[in-house]
Structure 1
Amino acid sequence: MKFVARWFALFLALMVAAWLVPGIQVSEGSWGAYAVMALVLSLLNATLLPLLKVASCGVIILTLGLFSLVLNAAVFMLASSITVNWFNLGFHVQNFWAALLGSIIVSIVNTLVSRALVEG
């Protein structure tokens, strides 16, 4: 049940990010794009992101953790690319800066909604 609540929180966070960030575009009425993007992003966050953080541990320490934002943006862009190219769904991230801002918004909204759904 927690997985469904966290997936739904990520689903809502992606909707907020697409609404706020001009460089993120989703096909009209494409609920499936949000759903698949949430699933792909959660899988990448669970598998690839920890490996990237371990591999770049020194850079993360030197930048006082700011490089983690770059890694999150890269994973966000990769998830978007997988959603568009493998599943033919329209969740497009235009550039790195849109991915960076989108990943920050998704992190904040996802944390708030997850806490409200899982703990509440």
Structure 2
Amino acid sequence: MRILLAILLNACALGAAAFLLPGIGVDGAGRGAGELLLAYLFVGAVFGVVNAIIKPVLSLLALPITCLTLGLFTVVINAAMLLLTGWLTSFTPVHFVVDSFFWDAVLGAIIVSVVSAVLNWFVVSPATAGRER
């Protein structure tokens, strides 16, 4: 159940980034709302796998430059995860498209991070509030 919730939250965050930025979106999905929702759920699952497997290794390797920039390099790592998700989904019928690195990927990473944090705060916090005794 926790994995499905994480996929749903990733899909919402990626959908918000695609809504706010014209350079981010999903190609290959039909025009129906259900098909678009399934496409974002699929891309959210791929994004979750990328964040679970590759991001920790990359964050560890980039730890010196992350400390040197006082954590701002984390935005670049998150933007790279968006681009990697786009590259991985290019081999599937549903393509997650990020047009450019600087504006689309970096701003998309910031939007995805903020939306994910807010959604996690609203969804995960009330569920665990009764167990904090």
TM-score (norm 2): 0.82
Deviations 1:20-55, CA, capped at 9 Å, x for gaps: 011112234432321121011111111111101111
**C-alpha distance in 2, partners of 1:109/1:9?**
9
**C-alpha distance in 2, partners of 1:82/1:88?**
11
Question: Structure 2: which amino acid aligns with 1:118?
Answer: V
Counterpart of 2:17 in structure 1 is: 17
RMSD: 1.4
**C-alpha distance in 2, partners of 1:15/1:35?**
10
Is it true that 1:38 corresponds to 2:44 in the alignment?
yes
**Does the CA-based 8 Å contact 2:11-2:44 persist in structure 1?**
yes
Aligned positions of 1:10-89 closer than 5 A: 10-27=10-27, 28-29=31-32, 30-83=36-89, 85-89=90-94
- Count of aligned residue pairs for this structure pair: 119
Displacement of 1:90: 3.1
Identify unmatched segments of 5+ residues in structure 1: none
**C-alpha distance in 1, partners of 2:3/2:25?**
26
Q: Which contiguous aligned blocks of 4+ residues in structure 1 show a shift greater than 2 angstroms? A: 25-33
**C-alpha distance in 2, partners of 1:91/1:117?**
25
**C-alpha distance in 2, partners of 1:57/1:6?**
25
SS in 1 for 2:25: strand
Question: Structure 2: which amino acid aligns with 1:21?
Answer: L
Aligned positions of 1:85-104 closer than 5 A: 85-96=90-101, 97-104=103-110
**Does the CA-based 8 Å contact 1:74-1:99 persist in structure 2?**
yes
TM-score (norm 1): 0.90
SS in 2 for 1:82: helix
RCO higher in 1 or 2 (8 Å CA, sep ≥ 6)? 1
Displacement of 1:3: 2.0
